[in-house]
């Protein structure tokens, strides 16, 4: 049984060794309301094409992992109510029931690796939850990245999580972390945290991925890209929003994988937060495509 269905465009791009950028699709079902989610998906794909790469949005449809879904499939998923945001542990269950599902970084990284795609763009990385002392709650994103051998670009770690512990775990797993043209790890909606990282350019990122081709290392690399100046939000805005969302989850006893679902859905209650989230998705698609194109320009 072949559960991985790669679109004709993506198959041809792989054969022709053209740059491809995988896109996780959780924002289609959580975070951005319809029809804005469709607009963002199509604009992100256009950003990737403008930079010389091929977009491959990944989702689950009719019992298959589809790599490179069509505009019609994006429209269907974005407007559908009962869509499952699917991480790696849920994958067999969702596929066996033939449910429609969107992908997290973990699931998209798994699919990208098996399809032969080296670059993945997403909004925010999952990680170590703040109540780790009471509940061993850690995102599958981290463990899947440790064995996928791809380049994952996000705007940092979702700010409801413990950023420092997440970065510590990535280091323990052998996943290198870089800041895109910054020496401070980005704060998702905010421009930077106090955590220092090695700064990297698109050219250097492409060179690192080329070097990895000659090494037997399965770990991915993680590049954290801050939003451009003028697009970030001040902490005076984001901190109360985060605290309010966390308090809501505590009051409603939200736990486990529902934490991220609630967090993403909360963006709809704040126009500035929602707009910043859209900018994150578009900006990261742009950067990932630049890196992927540079990688293929220099790879024989």
Show the tokens assigned to 18.
């053209």
Cα–Cα distance, 163 to 284 (Å, whole number): 19
173: which residues sit within 8 A by CB, 6+ positions away?
A: 142, 143, 145, 146, 219
Are 53 and 289 contacting, i.e. CB atoms less than 8 angstroms apart? Answer: yes
113 Cβ partners below 8 Å, 6+ apart? 148, 149, 150
What phi and psi values does residue 12 have, to the nearest 5 degrees? -65, -40
Could you count the other beta carbons within 10 Å of the beta carbon of residue 215? Answer: 9
User: Would you mind telling me the total number of residues written for the chain in this entry?
Assistant: 300
Dig out the tokens for 107 from the structure.
Answer: 């699931």
Is CATH 3.40.1790.10 what the domain over 4-298 is classified as, yes or no?
A: yes
Q: Residues 208, 213, 214, 220: is their CA dihedral positive or negative?
A: positive
Reported pTM: 0.96
Strand partners, 154: 224
Three-class HEC string of 4-23: EEECHHHHHHHHCCCCEEEE
Contacts of 232 (CB under 8 A, 6+ apart): 189, 190, 191, 226, 276
Question: Could you read off the pLDDT tens digit of each residue along the chain, which spans 300 residues?
Answer: 789 999 999 999 999 999 999 999 999 999 899 999 999 999 999 999 999 999 999 999 999 999 999 999 999 999 998 999 999 999 999 999 999 999 999 999 999 999 999 999 999 999 998 888 777 889 999 999 999 999 999 999 999 999 999 999 999 999 999 999 999 999 999 989 999 999 999 999 999 999 999 999 999 999 999 999 889 999 999 999 999 998 998 888 887 778 888 888 899 889 999 999 999 999 999 999 999 999 999 766
| Gap between the Cα atoms of 141 and 109, Å rounded | 8
């Amino acid at each position: 049984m072949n559960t991985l269905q790669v679109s004709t465009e993506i198959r041809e791009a792989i054969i022709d060794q053209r740059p491809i950028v995988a896109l996780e699709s959780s924002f289609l079902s959580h975070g951005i309301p319809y029809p804005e989610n469709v607009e963002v998906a199509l604009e992100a794909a256009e950003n990737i094409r403008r930079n010389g790469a091929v977009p491959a949005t990944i989702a689950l449809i009719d019992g298959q992992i589809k790599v490179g879904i069509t505009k019609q499939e994006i429209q269907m998923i974005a407007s559908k109510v009962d869509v499952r945001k699917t991480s790696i542990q849920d994958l067999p269950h969702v596929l066996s029931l033939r449910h429609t599902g969107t992908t997290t970084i973990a699931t998209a990284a798994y699919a990208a690796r098996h399809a032969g795609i080296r670059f993945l763009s997403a909004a925010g990385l999952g990680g170590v939850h703040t109540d780790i002392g009471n509940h061993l709650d850690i995102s599958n994103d981290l463990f899947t990245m440790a064995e996928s051998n791809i380049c994952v670009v996000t705007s940092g770690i979702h700010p409801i999580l413990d950023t420092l512990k997440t970065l510590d775990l990535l280091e323990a797993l052998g996943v290198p972390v870089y800041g895109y043209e910054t020496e401070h790890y980005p704060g998702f909606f905010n421009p930077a945290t106090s955590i220092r990282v090695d700064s990297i350019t698109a050219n250097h990122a492409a060179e690192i991925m080329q070097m990895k081709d000659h090494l037997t290392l399965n770990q991915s690399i993680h590049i954290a890209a801050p939003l451009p100046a003028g697009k970030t939000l001040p902490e005076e805005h984001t901190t109360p929003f985060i605290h309010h969302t966390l308090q809501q989850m505590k009051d409603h006893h939200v736990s486990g994988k529902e934490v991220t679902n609630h967090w993403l859905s909360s963006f709809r209650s704040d126009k500035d937060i929602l707009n910043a989230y859209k900018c994150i998705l578009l900006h990261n698609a742009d950067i990932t495509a630049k890196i992927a194109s540079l990688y293929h320009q220099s790879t024989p």
